[in-house]
Amino acid sequence: MTEHTARTATIGGIAASPGYAIAKAYRLQRDEIKPVQKQVADAAAETDRFRQAIGKAKAELKQIHELTRQRLGEEKAEIFEAHLLLLEDPDLIDVAMEQIEQDNVNADFALHSVAATFIDALLAMDNELLRERAADIRDVSGRVIAALHGAAYTTVSGVTEESVIIAEDLAPSDTALLDVNIVRGFATEIGSRTSHSAIMSRSLGIPAIVGAGSSLMDIETGTMIILDAVKGKIIVAPSDGELEQYRHIQEQYEQRRAELAGLKSEPTVSADGAHMELAANIGSVEDVQKALDNGAEGIGLFRTEFLYMGRSALPTEEEQFNVYKYVLEKMDGKPVVIRTLDIGGDKELPYMKLPKESNPFLGLRAVRLCLQEQDLFRTQLRALLRASRYGNLKIMFPMIALREELRECKRLLQEERTKLIAEGIEVAERIEVGIMIEIPAAALAADQFAKEVDFFSIGTNDLIQYTMAADRMNETVSYLYQTCHPSVLRLIRMVISAASKEGKWVGMCGEMAGDESAIPLLLGMGLHEFSMSASSILPARAQIRSLSRQQWAERIDSVLELGSEQEIKQVVQQHVNS
């Protein structure tokens, strides 16, 4: 969306990497080569030319891989290993070769047409992560086509002075080659927070906005702009007053970042000396490093659904084992809570014929599905058990409503443990087992569940939704989705109290755990672990270090007597500011 004042235009987008940049725009436009079909007289010579271009592209990608590895680490460089593998992919390269040989067409046209088929198929998918992978094929095929034409593929080398790059999109290789000494940030017309370029921008620590729309490319090179990648907006041709205002905001932001960075290795201790754990919620292998970079003391929620989505068949036990092992080793003894498969509701698997339900959030999902599809469940449990000896694994079952469900899950887990030991496979001697408290029935029966688990993790996103009978994604009833509603807070305190009586610990892995309005209340209730997005960890640590657990414990009773979320938030704010 674009807003105009007398001289200034403001373009909205998605904040992909937080921060502020003030500089002149550099509009990056790749001279895209659009191959035209031609007949070639010598197909063998054309395939040789194709192989040479692939060789040149491989050499370039190896250089980019090494540069990225040195700058950002092995994990971020893996994308270029994937690009190198694409240059050997028979579905891409061999099919293009066949077109050259059978149809006597030029190599650039053959590759372009095969790549376009894959790109169109990926862009048509519902899964955002898969749509983003279309950029990888576009990047790799574009590099080979440029080599076939004897042209340079990369264009970021043209940036020679302090700039904010404006582009339709940035290929992963473009982002990896950015000179952060002069590139102050970038904005793209398309893209999402999950694109490789967005992920790399966060690693590079430069502000970035994606998905800003077509009006972005109307900005001329040399135009002064402000990139506000905190609120997700680009201010074009700002006034002197706006420039002064944002320079002050930028200075304060950098000062605050420096203060928070100093807390990365510090323990999470309240002002009166109470220790608690700040952990990260992750949904992919790539998120692990970000958690560590932000000072996470563990992984409080590892969502395993990504292993099952965007593919044509269930993941094998070996695939899952390798992922779990990697994460446990990467966390080096820090606790890792892995949630078993939570499919259903808003997540479906195309290769599983799940029944169509009028209300899937109240239907066959999570543990309910796993207990029905026990082969699927047992495979995941085996992979988790095999990985357990490589770190501090804790297993968590989601959407538990009945003790019978929990007992069946534990029975299957024990059966698979016994089988593995009989097979001579080592399993950790002790693995903590817990449940997510996200159904009011489980919260109300927390005293009974606490006798049968090692821990609880409160999933507030669903707990609030089910307690308030309001779909959190439905704008018309979003006013009912209240994090600090008295009834929600009373349920949370009930769960923490029940667990404490049995000597069990309680975490929270919903968005509420990182909510600055809720943190003082959760601290006072005695929550042991706060699990949140990695970027929220250091601000939360700073806040907790300024609060007294004892003082907030003494206030809880009176706060919970208040009748509305508004009143509760006002009281919290008054005490925090006093």
In tens, the pLDDT along 420-443 reads: 999 999 999 999 999 999 999 999
The residue whose two tokens read 């040195």 is 70
Mean pLDDT of 466-495: 87
CA dist 236 and 224 (Å) reads 7
- Identify the H or E element spanning 482: none
Mean pLDDT of 139-154: 88
pLDDT of residue 572 exceeding 50, the answer is yes
The last residue of a domain, from among 216, 240, 264: 240
Residue 264 lies in a domain: no
558 and 453 within one domain: yes
pLDDT of residue 251 exceeding 80, the answer is yes
pLDDT of residue 119 exceeding 90, the answer is no
Residue 356 lies in a domain: yes
Question: What total of structural domains would you count in the chain?
Answer: 3
291 and 223 within one domain: no
Residue 270 lies in a domain: no
End-to-end CA distance of the chain: 40
323 and 218 within one domain: no
Short-list 217, 133, 202, CA closest to 168: 217
Residue 168 lies in a domain: yes
DSSP collapsed to 3 states, 332-360: CCCEEEEECCCCECCECCCCCCCCCCCCH
Comparing 353 with 463, which gets the higher pLDDT? 463
Residue 461 annotated as part of some ligand binding site = yes
508 and 482 within one domain: yes
- The CATH number assigned to the domain holding 174 equals 3.50.30.10
The pLDDT score that the predictor gives to residue 476 is: 76
370 and 235 within one domain: no
- Identify the H or E element spanning 11: strand 9-12
375 and 359 within one domain: yes
Mean pLDDT of 182-203: 84
The pLDDT score that the predictor gives to residue 4 is: 47
Mean pLDDT of 295-313: 88
Return the number of other C-beta atoms located less than 10 Å from residue 503's C-beta. Answer: 8
Active-site positions? 196, 509
Mean pLDDT of 179-187: 91
- The CATH number assigned to the domain holding 287 equals 3.20.20.60
Task: Count how many Cα atoms sit within 13 Å of the Cα of residue 533 in the half-sphere of its side chain.
Answer: 5
Residue 300 lies in a domain: yes
CB 299 within 8 A of CB 393: no
Return the number of other C-beta atoms located less than 10 Å from residue 378's C-beta. Answer: 17
Residue 565 lies in a domain: yes
Report the b/e string of 438-469 with b at 16+ CB within 10 A. bbbebbebbeebbeebbbbbbbbbbbbbbbbe
Dihedral (CA of 347, 348, 354, 355) sign: positive
> Which of 54-58, 175-179, 192-196, 495-499 is most confident?
495-499
CA dist 428 and 170 (Å) reads 45
210 and 63 within one domain: no
The last residue of a domain, from among 148, 165, 181: 148
| Percent share of the chain, pLDDT over 70 | 94
Q: How confident is the model over 499-557, as pLDDT tens digits? A: 999 999 999 998 899 888 999 999 999 999 999 888 889 999 999 999 999 999 999 99
104 and 58 within one domain: yes
162 and 144 within one domain: no
> Which of 5-9, 352-356, 367-371, 476-480 is most confident?
367-371
pLDDT of residue 6 exceeding 70, the answer is no
117 and 12 within one domain: no
Give CA separation, 140 vs 106, 133, 194, 558, in Å.
Answer: 18, 11, 19, 62
Write out the two tokens for 196: 């490789």
Please give the DSSP secondary-structure letter assigned to residue 221: T
Short-list 31, 38, 75, 550, CA closest to 270: 550
> Binning pLDDT at 50, 70 and 90, where does residue 156 land?
confident
The pLDDT score that the predictor gives to residue 70 is: 76
Amino acid symbol at 24: K
The pLDDT score that the predictor gives to residue 345 is: 52
Residue 7 annotated as part of some ligand binding site = no
CA dist 481 and 199 (Å) reads 30
CB 50 within 8 A of CB 95: no
Give me the chain's average pLDDT, please. 90
Dihedral (CA of 55, 56, 59, 64) sign: negative
Q: Which domain holds residue 20?
A: 2-30+155-240
169 and 110 within one domain: no
231 and 163 within one domain: yes
> Binning pLDDT at 50, 70 and 90, where does residue 410 land?
very high
Q: In what order do the strands lie in the sheet with 208-210?
A: 2-4, 9-12, 233-236, 224-228, 20-28, 163-167, 183-188, 208-210, 14-17
Residue 410 lies in a domain: yes
The last residue of a domain, from among 118, 148, 178: 148
Angle between helices 74-86 and 43-72 (to 10 degrees): 170
Q: How confident is the model over 59-94, as pLDDT tens digits? A: 999 988 888 877 777 667 778 888 998 898 888 999
Task: Count how many Cα atoms sit within 13 Å of the Cα of residue 558 in the half-sphere of its side chain.
Answer: 8
Residue 38 lies in a domain: no
pLDDT of residue 2 exceeding 70, the answer is no
The pLDDT score that the predictor gives to residue 404 is: 97
CB 9 within 8 A of CB 172: no
Short-list 295, 284, 307, CA closest to 262: 295
